[in-house]
């Protein structure tokens, strides 16, 4: 069992010392991600741009250059061809054709006739412009509603300082994760929205666990200065935080390495999101309570000798948390 422990018992790391570095670094990183979003932009997948997606399997290793040349001769507009998984698997993306859905179907038929019996057509998907617009709106609405729900939930359960800290931390995680899609130009599809929503849930869960312990210790240690209390609370939940993160990452790494091309962008975003969510719950969420003056940083000066002594009735308070 000792070999499985990622963090020793009774750690006394002083995390609050790093808030003078974590806050500026996070602000700069978030600003860069926002700047890249408006300048470079996301590589929107077919779900949001509309068009057709065709997955083909060739007889032997695929000649990408030859396939691209034949498709270019069809004058179908922007055509993307890439190897997909094994050497004999190819993924073709066709841009949205002028006209209605029938025009898109004619383009797919032209591709089928060009390759005829030379390839096996494994998957064909068509997304119209109206559907793609609805999907984009629904995706943005889903993320927005999730963030508003988080704010309301934490505000009701905790004080307003906790609610603002949780929402700012979660927004930071979302911005930085979207920045990953921009930098790596990963396809941003509906599965990417699912990844962002999952990261929101994970980050919030981790943050609430830390906040719950902080609230419990606020009732228990009446005289303890807030930075010391936050360090104590994070150290007490550190084993749980690390174990949850590592076990989740192991599952995601397996999916990334062996799950195939279809879910690689999803799992990569999830891996990055788990890492940034763990970081933010420790180095952003808790220090924000100092920024919002949850308790004067110096604590109660009247009786420092009792600051580490549990307050009367703390056991009952602990049970009600």
Which residues constitute the domain of residue 77? 51-127
173 and 296 share one domain: yes
* Separation of alpha carbons 254 and 248, rounded Å: 10
* Separation of alpha carbons 194 and 202, rounded Å: 12
Last residue of a domain, one of 107, 127, 147: 127
User: Does any domain span residue 6?
Assistant: no
User: Does any domain span residue 4?
Assistant: no
76 and 166 share one domain: no
- pLDDT for 56 equals 86
* Number of residues in the chain: 321
The one-digit pLDDT tens for each residue of the chain (321 residues) are: 555 566 667 778 888 888 889 889 999 999 999 999 999 888 887 777 777 888 888 887 888 888 888 888 888 777 778 777 778 888 888 777 776 667 778 888 888 888 877 788 888 877 665 555 676 677 778 778 877 887 787 788 777 888 888 888 988 998 999 999 999 988 887 788 888 888 888 888 888 888 889 888 888 888 888 889 899 999 988 888 888 888 889 999 998 888 776 678 889 999 999 999 889 988 998 888 888 877 654 444 444 444 444 444 443 333 333
Tokens 């069809």 locate to 74
User: Does any domain span residue 3?
Assistant: no
Q: Tokens for 175?
A: 């911005």
- pLDDT for 309 equals 47
141 and 226 share one domain: yes
- pLDDT for 180 equals 92
Greatest C-alpha distance within the chain: 87
User: Minimal CA–CA distance to 180: which of 31, 28, 42, 21?
Assistant: 42
| Beta partners for residue 127, in sequence order | 51
Q: How many domains does the chain have?
A: 2
Q: Tokens for 32?
A: 């860069």
What CATH number corresponds to the domain at position 145? 1.20.1640.10
**In 10 A of CB 209, how many CB atoms?**
16
- pLDDT for 7 equals 67
114 and 91 share one domain: yes
68 and 113 share one domain: yes
Q: At what angle do helices 264-280 and 226-258 cross, to 10 degrees?
A: 170
Last residue of a domain, one of 69, 92, 127: 127
147-152, Cβ contacts within 8 angstroms, sequence gap of 24 or more:
147/171, 147/174, 147/200, 150/200, 150/204
What CATH number corresponds to the domain at position 117? 3.30.70.3400
* Separation of alpha carbons 50 and 93, rounded Å: 10
* Separation of alpha carbons 215 and 221, rounded Å: 10
User: Does any domain span residue 84?
Assistant: yes
- pLDDT for 133 equals 64
The reported pTM is 0.73
* Separation of alpha carbons 115 and 191, rounded Å: 30
Contact criterion met (CB below 8 Å) for 7 and 238: yes
136 and 208 share one domain: yes
162 and 111 share one domain: no
159 and 105 share one domain: no
- pLDDT for 194 equals 83
Last residue of a domain, one of 127, 153, 171: 127
User: Does any domain span residue 8?
Assistant: no
163 and 29 share one domain: yes
Q: What is the DSSP string of 83-112?
A: E-SSTTEEEEEEEPPSSSHHHHHHHHHHHH
* Separation of alpha carbons 185 and 192, rounded Å: 12
- pLDDT for 313 equals 41
User: Does any domain span residue 311?
Assistant: yes
99 and 165 share one domain: no
User: Does any domain span residue 2?
Assistant: no
The helix or strand, by DSSP H or E, that contains position 119, with its residue range, turns out to be strand 119-127
User: Does any domain span residue 5?
Assistant: no
Burial class (CB in 10 A: 0-12, 13-18, 19+), 128: middle
72 and 173 share one domain: no
Q: What's the distance, CA 27 to chain centroid? A: 17
140 and 260 share one domain: yes
**3-class DSSP state of 43:** strand
């Amino acid at each position: 069992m000792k070999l499985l422990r990622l963090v020793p018992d009774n750690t006394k790391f002083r995390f609050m010392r790093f808030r003078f570095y974590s806050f500026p670094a996070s602000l700069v990183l978030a600003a860069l991600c926002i700047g890249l979003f408006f300048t470079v932009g996301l590589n929107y997948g077919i779900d949001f741009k509309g068009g057709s997606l065709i997955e083909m399997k060739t007889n032997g290793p695929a000649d990408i250059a030859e396939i691209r040349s034949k498709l270019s001769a069809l004058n179908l507009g922007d055509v993307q061809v890439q190897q997909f998984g094994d050497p004999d698997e190819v993924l073709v993306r066709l841009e949205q054709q002028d006209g209605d859905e029938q025009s898109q179907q004619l383009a797919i038929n032209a591709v089928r006739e060009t390759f005829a019996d030379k390839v096996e057509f494994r998957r064909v998907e068509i997304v119209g412009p109206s559907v793609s617009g609805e999907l984009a709106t629904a995706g943005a609405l889903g993320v927005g509603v999730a963030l508003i729900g988080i704010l309301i939930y934490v505000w009701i359960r905790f004080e307003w300082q906790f609610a603002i800290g949780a929402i700012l931390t979660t927004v930071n995680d979302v911005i930085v994760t979207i920045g990953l899609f921009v930098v790596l130009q990963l396809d941003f599809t509906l599965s990417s929205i699912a990844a962002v929503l999952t990261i929101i849930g994970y980050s919030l869960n981790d943050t609430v666990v830390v906040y719950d312990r902080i609230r419990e210790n606020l009732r228990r240690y009446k005289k303890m200065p807030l930075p010391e209390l936050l360090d104590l609370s994070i150290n007490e939940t550190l084993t749980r935080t690390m174990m949850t993160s590592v076990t989740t990452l192991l599952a995601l790494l397996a999916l990334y390495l062996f799950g195939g091309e279809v879910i690689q962008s999803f799992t990569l975003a999830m891996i990055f999101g788990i890492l940034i969510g763990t970081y933010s719950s420790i180095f952003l969420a808790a220090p924000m309570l100092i920024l919002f003056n949850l308790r004067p940083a110096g604590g109660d000066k009247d009786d420092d000798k009792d600051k580490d002594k549990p307050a009367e009735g703390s056991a009952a308070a602990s049970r009600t948390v």
